[in-house]
Amino acid sequence: MALDTETPLNSLGFAKSPSETRVVVAMSGGVDSSVVAAYLADQGYDVVGVTLQLYDHGAALAKKGACCAGIDIHDARRVAEERGFPHYVLDYENIFKDAVIDEFADSYLAGATPVPCIRCNERVKFKDLLETAKDLEADCMATGHYIQRMMGPNGPELHSAEDANRDQSYFLFSTTPEQLSFLRFPLGHLPSKDATREMAAQYGLAVADKPDSQDICFVPNGNYASVIEKLRPGAAEPGEIVHDDGRVLAQHDGVIHYTIGQRRGLGIGGLSEPLYVVRLDVDKKQVVVGPKELLATRTIPVREINWLGDAPFTSQKEWHVSVKVRSTRPPREAIIRPLTDNTAEVELLTSEEGVSPGQACVFYASEGSRIFGGGWIWRGY
């Protein structure tokens, strides 16, 4: 009787030994991606670390709370040296500016509230960097994102992270099936960030206690408006703060200083009711304010949809799912009504406040952890 000589799958899903499996690790210099690289190297994989120089070329921005800056490149390189695998720094500054920063500025000027981290994953990390990984003859690319890739009956599926507090699915909804087949997320099953830091300590990584990045990497102080003014000089044109009923209440220094749902810092005190930014009219240079109930939305137009369901998006008139319309909010029950292969109208079963163009609308299974993709919220005209 012949022996079964079939090679078992390794932990990354390949029927060969770890030493014969090359994996490119996208290293930001933070604790998450550093742990992924150290863990895979410890498992015996042929690890290649790659860090992207995205902005601030030349002068290192050594500021806590920002990623992808000079000090982070240094930290990533040190992890690679200590763990004994090659590390490359790739200058993606022009790609990043064209694919992420310019759109961020333009959409902000158009009154939207953009999420550049999603575009960075979609257009830089999971596109150009992924192709670079293939050029390096890698079998797969691993990242430190908190999300899970699980094999389903129709191929790899995207699932929320085990730790709901760390889940990054909102920022990864645009991952395509083709990208998902090449990507690996070794941290998605961990119970908490503490578990990641414990692993970092076990591997003796100097970044074990490094603070998490909080801000958008090219907006390290959280001041979006100042960045927009540098990118688009003269963009902060003054205008009027107008009540929804037509009353002019005050003047402002530029629409870019306001976001939908904002209540504080409007400079219009002395009124009997609290007012919120309910609309930004860029053409008229108006910030429109009104009572909180005007923020409530139930119908959301969505475009540029990336669908990760098993059946074609337009194969059903309705999809009953849950959706997130901001990264910090829990999923809400909703009905998706496809209009085309990549546009739809989303109806929330209960209204949501402060739904803003430029944010993502991400689709989740009503039960379980699967993610069905998502799209971008727009005004619908």
Beta pairing class for 239-243 and 286-290: parallel
Q: Is 91 annotated as a binding residue?
A: no
Which residues have C-beta within 8 Å of that of residue 274, sequence separation ≥ 6? 263, 291, 292
Q: Is 26 annotated as a binding residue?
A: yes
pLDDT score of 381: 54
What residue has token string 């952890």? 369
pLDDT score of 69: 55
pLDDT score of 367: 94
Q: How far is CA 105 from CA 80, 100, 220, 239, 251, in A?
A: 35, 9, 15, 19, 23
**Interior angle at CA 267, CA 262 and CA 272, nearest 5:** 85
Q: Is 32 annotated as a binding residue?
A: yes
Q: Enumerate domains of the chain plus CATH numbers.
A: 18-203 (3.40.50.620), 236-290 (2.30.30.280), 296-377 (2.40.30.10)
Q: Is 111 exposed, middle or buried (0-12, 13-18, 19+ CB in 10 A)?
A: buried
* Strand extents, DSSP E, the chain: 22-26, 46-53, 87-91, 140-142, 147-152, 155-160, 183-184, 239-243, 248-252, 276-281, 286-290, 296-307, 319-324, 332-338, 344-353, 360-364, 371-377
Q: Which tokens hold the place of 70?
A: 């000079």
Q: Is 144 annotated as a binding residue?
A: yes
Q: Is 65 annotated as a binding residue?
A: no
Q: Is 29 annotated as a binding residue?
A: yes
pLDDT in 10s for each residue of the chain, 381 residues: 444 457 799 999 999 999 999 999 999 999 999 999 999 999 999 999 999 988 764 333 344 444 445 789 999 999 999 999 999 999 999 999 999 999 999 998 888 889 999 999 999 999 999 999 999 999 999 999 999 999 999 999 999 999 999 999 999 999 999 999 999 999 999 999 999 999 999 999 999 999 887 778 888 777 888 888 888 887 788 999 999 999 999 999 998 889 899 998 888 877 778 999 999 988 899 999 999 999 999 999 999 999 999 999 999 999 999 999 999 889 999 999 999 999 999 999 999 998 999 999 999 999 999 999 999 999 865
pLDDT score of 62: 40
pLDDT score of 48: 98
What span, in angstroms and rounded, lies between the C-alpha atoms of 370 and 352?
22
Q: Is 52 annotated as a binding residue?
A: yes
pLDDT score of 56: 61
CB 303 within 8 A of CB 322: no
Q: Is 43 exposed, middle or buried (0-12, 13-18, 19+ CB in 10 A)?
A: middle
What span, in angstroms and rounded, lies between the C-alpha atoms of 367 and 288?
38
Active site residues: 120, 217
